[in-house]
Structure 1
């Protein structure tokens, strides 16, 4: 945990605001590939794949393949995202929606998107605290404060530049850890009575996985920033296409553990049990790398909107620290972990109408984006508590209908206004 902090102190000496916010748009192929691996394998990934695989083989494998498919889609659209971002001079998902929809109050867009990703980051923070509590003789609350302090400090000092550069080492640790896990557990295939049994879940959840999980990779703010801030559009495309099979290998390795019945406890306990005895320490190191590398690249894209403000570098660092304090409070108050993960992923799909419009159309309505995002996120979170099988469908349906309804109404109003200005003599002409 100390290594990223020391590295941040060294690298931050001559950093500029642009380096801090988006690495000045010069992230190369290796750092982008490693960032994709780190950003798309988190605590939520381990928990979801282990639990769903244990409950239903078809759900576990589908989830792994859908995750990887999302990265392939990112590779396909990366040039378009890179080009559109350069056109508007922005590097984040929030900023592109704000710019293309001409939103006067960016907080109305930032808040629902930040809610989703702070929720996902809080899951990572809670998992890191659990590891520290297992390793060190400290209480759970102190471990949470320690995890937040270390991750928050090195992220606030080094910003996006250090977050991308430390991903190279962290991705290597993750890949080595998964390789060791896979080799240690490759034998003795699990006994599966019915591969297509959905267990306690329903068919809409399986359909939702294939429809919405690939989209969630595209709508993730960290993946979006990697596409937008890579050195070139070709670098972004190649990085995602190279990272997809690497991540799929990792996902299927975790699914294999779930299928073999290794999902009956905390993730750290499961990984320690699945590791060879002499490699038990690698489980701790791998999970710490997974969690820290995910948190920094989730938080930093939330501050890209501040590039055009007059905040100094010191003030930007304070804002990042403040976000980690908020994360600590959210993590402390968090309920069941799986429900939080599902809520975060279900809410992602409500971004789709606004993002598609930002990429494909012009003359967009600020009201469409604001109401679509806020109502969609609210509905999807509520439905996780009602019936998680339908949370993503319902949130997306509300977001799409609200966006389309407001856009159609405003267009009709503009047409009516133009029509009322036409005089009879104009018609005669």
Structure 2
């Protein structure tokens, strides 16, 4: 007796869910602590390209592009272009990031800020940055749970626990090495899925009355997209770690240049769906409705690959900060599991999805003053980095609830001004200390 059609469709879903776990179990036999934390700095071009595709196409990408494109064509296209531009900027600065990271002996964004500024308490830097990226990861986890609840006979809570457990366990077993290696398979699934969607929906041009209509949004949001979204790609902990841990600077640059057009193709494919008007539907429903009838299962498989690959490459760069600690491999694996448990709780209590996505992206730009200073300047202030990061994140999150059109501007302005003032005061204090010391030496 033949199995029902939906049983055949469930097979690929189960495979894409459990394949990373099986792969991690196989690779775990010879995983070292360095492999777990940063893949021992040997990630090649193919794995880096795949990681860029997986890390820069997530639930937030689908939701934001679909909703903004439906509300305003110019916002949707601008968002797609700004995302891709950010990857090109990553390619340009990749050798600098790789060189600076090697100079300080670090492999992550948090660690570079800490080392360059001489911060004595790394948690003061780690907490605001981790908060932003754990918020983004919680969005992915919630989306994955929603998919599992849709295709499996389980409650939303059970689906959330299952999603957290599946992704958290394979990430904890294999760490950054398995996260980068499984990205190759997951990126192929994503590119094939979006490619099929794009070809299927290439006809039937949507009716657009005014390309430049901003819909319910304001002009500052459009400016903010082009000013801050490209920067957000550079300041993403996963992209930063790819630049810092690639086998060589040229590998990092080449990978981002190759990945940028691939991601732009995917972004524009999603924008095209948004222009046809799907604002009132869930992302999974949109993809299923626009996929060829015999390939609807690929929508589920593609989104699962998108979400799982994004989560592992968001969480592992946050663990890189523990490289210089005495934690054993087993302890690091336990920390990863705890982070996923925290994510499950955060996802369970999460508010409106779009606001959470905007909050996460708006908060990224507040990292810019501290990161630029770490790359360019020599006389730095630990207090400036700590205060600007924490205040900037707080301001941007508050403004998302007040007026999201200005959230990124306000957060960045708060971080920049705070960094500049605190840095100037710190340098003045150092000057006064040196002057008093000179007077004491002269008096003797």
Report the TM-score, using the length of structure 2 for normalisation: 0.95
1:70 and 1:218 in contact (8 A); partners too: yes
Cα offset, 1:335, TM superposition: 0.1
Is 1:161 matched with 2:173?
no
Cα offset, 1:155, TM superposition: 0.2
Is 1:224 matched with 2:240?
yes
The whole-number CA distance in structure 1 between the counterparts of 2:289 and 2:205 is 17
Superposition pairs of residues 81-92 of structure 1, within 5 angstroms: 81-92=97-108
Cα offset, 1:418, TM superposition: 2.8
Q: Deviations over 1:334-360 (max 9, x none)?
A: 000000000000000000000000000
SS of 1:308's equivalent in the other structure is coil
Cα offset, 1:421, TM superposition: 4.5
Equivalent of residue 24 in structure 2, options 8, 15, 19: 8
The whole-number CA distance in structure 2 between the counterparts of 1:85 and 1:13 is 29
Question: Aligned residue for 2:92?
Answer: 76
Cα offset, 1:95, TM superposition: 0.4
Question: Aligned residue for 2:128?
Answer: 112
SS of 2:106's equivalent in the other structure is coil
Question: Aligned residue for 2:186?
Answer: 170
The whole-number CA distance in structure 2 between the counterparts of 1:416 and 1:144 is 56
The whole-number CA distance in structure 1 between the counterparts of 2:321 and 2:197 is 40
Question: Aligned residue for 2:6?
Answer: none
Question: Aligned residue for 2:64?
Answer: 48
1:263 and 1:270 in contact (8 A); partners too: no
SS of 1:389's equivalent in the other structure is coil
Equivalent of residue 383 in structure 2, options 367, 380, 398: 367
The whole-number CA distance in structure 1 between the counterparts of 2:125 and 2:187 is 31
1:101 and 1:364 in contact (8 A); partners too: yes
1:264 and 1:270 in contact (8 A); partners too: no
The whole-number CA distance in structure 1 between the counterparts of 2:81 and 2:325 is 41
Q: Deviations over 1:173-226 (max 9, x none)?
A: 000001100011000111000100000000000000000000000000000000
SS of 1:357's equivalent in the other structure is helix
Structure 1 vs Structure 2 CA RMSD: 1.3
Cα offset, 1:264, TM superposition: 2.2
| 1:106 to 1:424, Cα distance in 2 relative to 1, 3 A | closer
The whole-number CA distance in structure 2 between the counterparts of 1:38 and 1:225 is 14
Cα offset, 1:414, TM superposition: 1.9
SS of 2:323's equivalent in the other structure is helix
The whole-number CA distance in structure 1 between the counterparts of 2:348 and 2:407 is 24
SS of 1:320's equivalent in the other structure is helix
Superposition pairs of residues 203-222 of structure 1, within 5 angstroms: 203-222=219-238
| 1:162 to 1:413, Cα distance in 2 relative to 1, 3 A | same
Cα offset, 1:249, TM superposition: 0.2
The whole-number CA distance in structure 2 between the counterparts of 1:149 and 1:166 is 17
Unaligned runs of 5+ in 1: none
